[in-house]
Each structure stands twice: as structure tokens, then as C-alpha cells.
Amino acid sequence: MQSTFLEARKADMLDLLEKLVNIDSGTFYKAGVDRVGQVLASAFQALGFQVVVDRQSERGDHLIIVHPEAMHPSILIIGHLDTVFPVGTARSRPFSYDESFAYGPGVYDMKASLVMSLFAIQSLIEAGDESFKRIKIILNSDEEHGSIYSRELIKRESAGIKFALIIEPSDMTGKLITGRRGGGKFELHVTGRAAHSGEEPEKGRSAIGELAHKIIQLHGLTDPHAGVHVNVGVVSGGTTSNTIAAHANASIDVRMETPDQAIELERKIKHICSTATIEGTTLVLEGGITRQPMIKNANSEHLLNIVQEEAMQLGESLTDKKVGSGSDGNLTAAIGIATIDALGPRGGNAHTADEFLVIESLIPRTILLANLVKRLSLE
């Protein structure tokens, strides 16, 4: 019945997907992120759900979606409203599709998953199955930036939750994710002293020079064999080539395999950035570990078995994998909730101009999500 219901609404699913993709919603574009949230809030409200808006002053608002008759929801579905693309991207390459694939900014990561979650619930309502009263949905606005502003919300709303279903998209093989490396984000600000580099260089203290020392030391913390990586990915500083730089900044991304590595890595980064190499420069380090590693355990193994059983009922044999990137699954797994990630539709090339969605995977993954809600509501 679900398959028939959803096949009849495939055009509606693609219409909603087109509407969402054609809204620019990069993490730092609040107006666009909120517009995506408003579209989805209205759609869920039309199904009888309550939508609580967790308002943010500088970032997009987060949404908490629960049915008014829900009693102690035990299933948490998490998705995100933001993408990585700048304002103007949707206009320059709007939503399009052919017989096999759909294209556009965020079509795969993760606007198709947002459509999937809405129609999965709609199919349960249509079938008269009240398991939708056992779920809570969080749609946050900053997942692509590490969920820095939504992590406390996710932790708070996870109280009493037994299962976390993360609707990040799946790869072309359809594999689920049961393990992710942890990560962190730091910002290093260096202050020096400006001077004319030709007339009075001795009066200057180069913030860029100091930052260069720190970059080498930070990159030296990388240990590929242990799964530890430190990357200074963005640097800025200075004013002109003949002025000794008074200011310099660096954005630092870190990845690790274990909680112990996270503690040690943060300690080492703070130590490196605590003392200046060039006398007369000062350093300020901000940030920290944002996501603990998501480690496969007995709870997630049990949930994986359930997902695999439900997928097999639909004719799909699913396997799982561990990946280097992070998601909100790191957050729920870290507080002991059984978590499965990558439940969204298949596709690829996320965060690039070549991003695509496999259209034929949209309805099967919607059915799988609905069936999981039914199954887990009885656990």
C-alpha cells in the first residue's frame, strides 16, 4: 500500500524537492535556511504535527517536530536544512532532472532526505498506522558547519530516545554508516605589530610569520596511521606586501578515531598555540572538539540488524561502513543512543557542482524509513 501511495505522489515529491533545491540555504545565509524551514514546517503542520521553532539570531532557526498526541517519543529522526553553497548558486544552476538523476545545489545532501522524511510520515498517516506518534524530528540549520549551535538542542531533545535515525544521504551502493571519525574546528588569531618592511622592518612583528610557525607545528600532529589529521584549511592576514602584517588568522579542521585521541589532540593544539615563537606576537585560540567519534557498538549493531531485516523485506541487501566525515550521528552515538546513519536516498558528488540524486532510490528509501518507524515503535 505504501508503495502504491508513494508512486502516486512521486510527482509531488519531485515538486517539493525542486522547491527546496531552488532556495539558497548555505549555512550562513539565515534568510534562505529559514525559508527552507518554513516550507517544511508548513508541510508538517498540514499533517497535524506541531512545529517548535528554536530561533537563532545569526544562524537559521532549528525545528523540532512532534505530533501533539505523542507520548514519550522513542525514535529521533535528524536532518539538516543547510547546504554548503553560496547565495546565487540556485539561480545559476537550478533544479533539473532526467530519467535517472536529479541535479542542483543540495539535491543529494540533503534536500531529498527532507522530502523523504515528510512523505514517509504521510504514508504512515494514510495507512492509519499511528507509529508516527512515537517519533520526534529535529531539522537543524548548521550541520554543515559542525552543528555548533544545535548540538545542545540535539542533546537536550534526545532525553528518553532509544533510536536515532540520521537521514544523511547514502552513497551509490546504498551502504549505511555505523562509524564516523570525530572532528573539531579551531580558529587561531595572531596579533603582531605593523611596520614598513623597507624603512623600519625591525619595528615590526609579523603575525603571518608567527602563523607560519604554528601551521607547521599543527600539521605535524597529523598521524595517518592512527587516523589523526590536522588541516589548516583557510588562512588570512596582512594588508600590503610592503607592510609587516599586524594580524593573521587560520581556520583549523581536525579528525580523529577515538575519544582518547580527541582529548590528546585538543591538549596538543592548545599547547602549541599557547606560546608565540616570534617575540612580540600574541595568539588567541578559539573552538574545540565539536564531534566525538561515532563508534559501532552493541546498540548500533542491534539497530543495524533491524534496518537490514526491513531492507531485505523490500528486496535490498544493505551493508554498513565507517567513514571519515562527521554528522549529527556523532552526537547521538556519543550519548549512548543506538544510531544508524545514511538512511537517505542514493547519489553522489556532495558539496560540488556535479551533485546528483538517484531518483529511483527516493521512494524505496521513503518506504524503508516508514517501515523502520513502524518496527522501532514496537521495540
What residues are labeled active site? 82, 143
Is 333 strand, coil or helix?
A: helix
Q: Which H, E and C letters describe 128-161, residue by residue?
A: CCHHHHHEEEEEECCHHHCCCCCHHHHHHHCCCC
DSSP class per residue in 167-223: -PPB-TT--EEEEE-EEEEEEEEEE-B-EETTT-GGG-B-HHHHHHHHHHHHHTT-B
The answer to whether 276 and 291 have CB atoms below 8 angstroms apart is no
Closest residue by Cα to residue 297 from 258, 342, 254: 258
Q: What is the strand order of the sheet 347-348 is part of? A: 96-97, 101-103, 356-358, 347-348
- Cα angle vertex 157, ends 154, 159, to 5°? 115
Distance CA 44, CA 269 (A): 44
